[in-house]
């Protein structure tokens, strides 16, 4: 099975969006360089950010999101973001009415089922878990192997927390990647096994 990675861009004070689900400048680093990150040419980053991000993106086999994110994005019009092969949506509700059953989206109830489904779909590739409420639930359940953060130099003060509603202490290993890019610091931590 592939590594389960919790990921998002995040403010210095730990938020992935403001109170109105707006990311503000959290993704500006994806437009602040001179190296194209994807074939669209719309995303341009520093060479450091490219060398860190592109190989990671290329390894993602499935992404897990909550229904809230799915609804906010209108399901990305049935096309997984960033060229990911599959999206697993954690929800108690069925797919939206009129949803294309051929779209590579899978609707499951609960984070354990989401991780199992995503691992089956991804094989030995990475399972990415979007940070926030669902990511926090996956993390609290001990199902996350690695935490990746693209820390952006902004303070939100309040909003949607990176780890969602996680309230208990969880230890991470020392960071094994700390890389400065343009308007971002890329961090990667392994998760310590819970005793």
pLDDT tens per residue, range 129-162: 999 999 999 999 999 999 999 999 999 999 999 9
pLDDT tens per residue, range 42-58: 999 999 999 999 999 99
Cα 102 from Cα 112, distance rounded (Å): 24
* pLDDT at site 139: 96
Cβ–Cβ < 8 Å for 184, 170: no
Which conformational region is residue 191 in: left (phi greater than 0), alpha (psi within -120 to 50 degrees), or beta? Answer: beta
Does pLDDT of 195 surpass 80?
no
The architecture of the domain spanning 4-29+61-190 is 3-Layer(aba) Sandwich (3.40)
pLDDT band at residue 83 under the 50/70/90 scheme: confident
What is the mean pLDDT of the segment spanning 74-100? 92
Q: Which residues pair with 98 in a beta bridge?
A: none
Domain borders along the chain are 4-29+61-190
**3-state SS string over 18-56?**
CCCCCCHHHHHHHHCCCEECCCCCCCEECHHHHHHHHHH
């Amino acid at each position: 099975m592939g590594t389960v990675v919790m990921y998002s861009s995040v403010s210095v004070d730990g938020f992935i969006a403001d109170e109105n689900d707006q990311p503000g400048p959290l993704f500006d680093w994806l437009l602040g360089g001179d190296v194209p990150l994807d074939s669209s040419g719309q995303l341009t980053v520093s060479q450091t950010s490219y060398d860190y991000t592109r190989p990671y993106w290329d390894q993602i086999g499935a992404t897990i999101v909550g229904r809230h994110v799915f609804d906010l994005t209108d399901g990305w019009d049935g096309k997984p973001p960033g060229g990911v092969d599959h999206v697993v949506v954690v929800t108690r509700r069925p797919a939206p009415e009129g949803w294309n059953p051929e779209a590579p989206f899978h609707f499951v109830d609960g984070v354990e089922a989401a991780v199992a489904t995503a691992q089956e779909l991804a094989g030995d590739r990475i399972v990415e878990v979007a940070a926030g409420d669902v990511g926090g639930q996956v993390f609290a359940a001990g199902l996350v192997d690695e935490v990746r953060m693209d820390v952006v130099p902004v303070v939100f003060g309040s909003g949607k927390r990176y780890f969602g509603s996680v309230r208990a202490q969880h230890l991470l290993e020392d960071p094994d990647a700390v890389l400065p890019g343009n308007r971002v610091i890329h961090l990667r931590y392994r998760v310590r096994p819970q005793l």
